[in-house]
C-alpha cells in the first residue's frame, strides 16, 4: 500500500474503497471483498445509509483496527446536530473512532458544524478532520475561524475535471486533495477514451488503472467504487507501473473542467 501523510503526521492510504450508491444490503459483502483484497481505507457517509454495514465488514475482517482508515461524512448543519450525528455514526458503525470525518458539503453554518468536528478530534473520536465539496473561499473562511485547519478536501476530480485551480490552492495550504468519482461515476465515458486506451495497452493495464495511477501520481487520493470483484481487485493493482512525463502530459491535456454532476455553482470548485 502507498500512503499520503496528513498534516497532523498521520498517514492514510492513497487509494480507498468508495461506497456511495452501494445498497446497504450489498455493502458488507463489497467491503469485505475489498478488505480481503488489500484495501485498507473505506469511505462511507451518513448520507449513504451504510455506515453500519461498513462497520460490520470491518469487525468481521479480523484486521487490526490500527491498520485501517475509515472515513465518514456529516449531513447535519450547526454544532449540536453535528455533534450528535458524529456520536450516532460511531454507534452505527460500532467503532470507537473514525480515522477521518468530513463536512460533506458547504452549508449555512460552517463554523458551528466544523466546531463539532474539532471537538470530536480533540476528544480522540476523530483522528483527522476535513471538508468535502468546499471551494477556496469556503476553505479560506473556515480556516479563519478554525483552531484545527481542515486536513483534506474531498472534491470531484477525474481525468475530465482535474481541478487545476483547486489542486495548487490545497497544496499551498497543506490540505490533501482527495478525489470523488475518480472514474467519472461510470457515466462520463472516460473509460472509453482512446488516448487512455493507448496508454493502457502500452502498460498492459486497463483504462481504469491508468486513470487511478494518473491521479495518484498527481498527488490526488482516490476512492474508486465497484461491486464487481474483478474491478475491485483491478482498481487496487496500480502500483506496478508508472506513467512517464509524456504520458502524464497526454492525460493532463484531456482535462475539460467538466463535472459529471449538475451541482449548484457554489459547489463547483473554481471553474477554469
Ligand atoms: P467512481 O468514479 O468510483 O465510478 C464508479 C463506477 O465505475 C461504477 O459504475 C463502477 O461499476 C464503475 N467501475 C469501477 N471500477 C471499474 C473498472 N475497473 N472498470 C470498469 N468500470 C469500473 O464513482 P463514485 O462511486 O461516484 O465515486 C467514488 C467514491 O467517492 C464514492 O463511492 C464515494 O465514496 C465518494 N463520493 C463522494 C462524494 C462527495 O460528495 N464527497 C460524491 C460522490 C462520491
**pLDDT for the residue numbered 98:** 98
Residue from 39, 48, 114, 160 carrying the catalytic annotation? 48
Dihedral through CA 211, CA 193, CA 156, CA 38, nearest 10?
Answer: -30
Domain count, the chain: 1
Digit-by-digit pLDDT tens for the chain (272 residues) are 999 999 999 999 999 999 999 999 999 999 999 999 999 999 999 999 999 999 999 999 999 999 999 999 999 999 999 999 999 999 999 999 999 999 999 999 999 999 999 999 999 999 999 999 999 999 999 999 999 999 999 999 999 999 999 999 999 999 999 999 999 887 778 999 999 999 999 999 999 999 999 999 999 999 999 999 999 999 999 999 999 999 999 999 999 988 887 666 666 667 77
pLDDT of amino acid 46: 98
Position 122 scores a pLDDT of: 98
6 lies in some domain = no
Per DSSP, the residues of the chain read --EEE-TTS-EEESB-EE-TT--HHHHHHHHHHHHHHT--EEE--GGGT-HHHHHHHHHHH---GGG-EEEEEE---SHHHHHHHHHHHHHHHT-S-BSEEEE-S--S-HHHHHHHHHHHHHTTSBS-EEEES--HHHHHHHHHH-SS---EEEEE-BTTB--TTHHHHHHHTT-EEEEESTTGGGTS-GGG-HHHHHHHHHHT--HHHHHHHHHHHTTEEB----S-HHHHHHHH--SS----HHHHHHHHTT-----SS---GGGS----
Query: Which pLDDT score, from 0 to 100, does residue 189 have?
Result: 87
Nearest CA to ligand 1 atom 13: 226
Range 152-174 burial, b when 16+ CB lie within 10 A, else e: bbbbbbbbbbbbeebbebbeeee
Expressed as residue numbers, the domain containing 194 is 11-259
Tell me, yes or no, whether 114 lies in a domain: yes
Distance 184 CA to ligand 1 centre (A): 7
- Determine, yes or no, domain membership for 23: yes
Among the atoms of ligand 1, which is closest to the Cα of residue 19? 32
Ligand 1 atom 11 nearest Cα: 226
Q: Is there a domain that residue 266 lies in? A: no
pLDDT for the residue 265: 64
Exposure string of 91-105, with b = 16+ CB inside 10 Å and e = fewer, is ebbebebbbbbbbbb
Of 15, 176, 179, 186, the residue with max ligand 1 atoms within 8 A of its CB, to mutate for a pocket test, comes to 186
- Give the global pTM: 0.96
What is residue 266's predicted lDDT score, i.e. its pLDDT? 62
Known catalytic residue at 39:
no
Q: Is residue 58 part of a domain?
A: yes
In a domain, 167, yes or no: yes
In a domain, 272, yes or no: no
Residue 220 CA to chain centroid, in angstroms? 9
Would you say residue 45 lies in a domain? Answer: yes
pLDDT score at 156? 94
Residue ID of nearest Cα to ligand 1 atom 18: 231
The response to whether 231 counts as a known ligand-binding position is no
Q: Which of 48, 50, 150, 180 to mutate to test the pocket of ligand 1 (most atoms within 8 A of CB)?
A: 180
Decide: 223 and 232 in contact? Cβ < 8 Å.
Answer: no
Taking alpha carbons only, the member of 102, 95, 10 closest to residue 47 is 102
- Assign residue 59 the CATH number of its domain: 3.20.20.100
Distance between the two ends of the chain, CA-based, in angstroms? 33
140 CB neighbour count, 10 Å cutoff? 12
pLDDT for the residue numbered 257: 87
Amino acid at each position: 500500500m502507498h500512503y499520503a501523510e496528513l498534516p497532523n503526521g498521520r498517514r492514510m492510504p492513497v487509494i480507498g474503497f468508495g461506497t456511495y450508491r452501494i445498497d446497504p444490503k450489498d455493502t458488507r459483502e463489497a467491503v469485505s471483498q475489498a478488505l480481503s483484497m488489500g484495501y485498507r481505507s473505506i469511505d462511507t457517509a451518513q448520507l449513504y445509509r451504510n455506515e453500519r454495514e461498513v462497520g460490520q465488514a470491518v469487525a468481521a475482517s479480523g484486521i487490526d483496527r490500527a491498520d485501517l482508515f475509515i472515513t465518514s461524512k456529516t449531513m447535519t448543519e450547526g454544532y449540536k446536530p453535528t455533534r450528535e450525528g458524529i456520536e450516532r455514526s460511531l454507534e452505527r458503525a460500532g467503532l470507537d473512532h473514525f480515522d477521518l470525518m468530513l463536512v460533506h458539503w458547504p452549508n449555512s453554518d460552517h463554523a458551528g458544524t466544523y466546531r463539532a468536528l474539532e471537538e470530536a478530534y480533540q476528544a480522540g473520536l476523530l483522528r483527522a478532520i476535513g471538508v468535502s465539496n468546499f471551494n477556496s473561499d469556503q476553505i479560506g473562511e473556515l480556516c479563519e475561524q478554525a483552531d484545527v485547519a481542515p486536513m483534506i478536501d474531498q472534491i470531484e476530480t477525474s481525468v475530465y475535471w482535474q481541478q487545476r485551480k483547486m489542486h495548487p490552492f490545497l497544496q499551498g495550504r497543506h490540505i490533501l486533495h482527495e478525489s470523488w468519482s475518480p472514474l467519472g461515476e461510470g457515466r462520463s465515458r472516460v473509460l472509453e477514451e482512446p488516448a487512455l486506451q493507448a496508454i493502457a495497452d502500452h502498460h498492459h493495464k486497463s483504462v481504469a488503472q491508468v486513470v487511478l495511477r494518473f491521479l495518484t501520481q498527481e498527488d490526488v487520493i482516490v476512492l474508486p467504487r465497484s461491486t464487481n470483484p474483478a474491478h475491485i481487485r483491478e482498481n487496487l493493482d496500480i502500483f506496478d507501473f508508472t506513467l512517464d512525463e509524456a504520458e502524464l502530459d497526454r492525460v493532463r491535456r484531456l482535462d475539460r473542467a467538466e463535472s459529471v454532476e449538475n451541482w449548484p455553482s457554489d459547489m463547483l470548485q473554481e471553474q477554469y
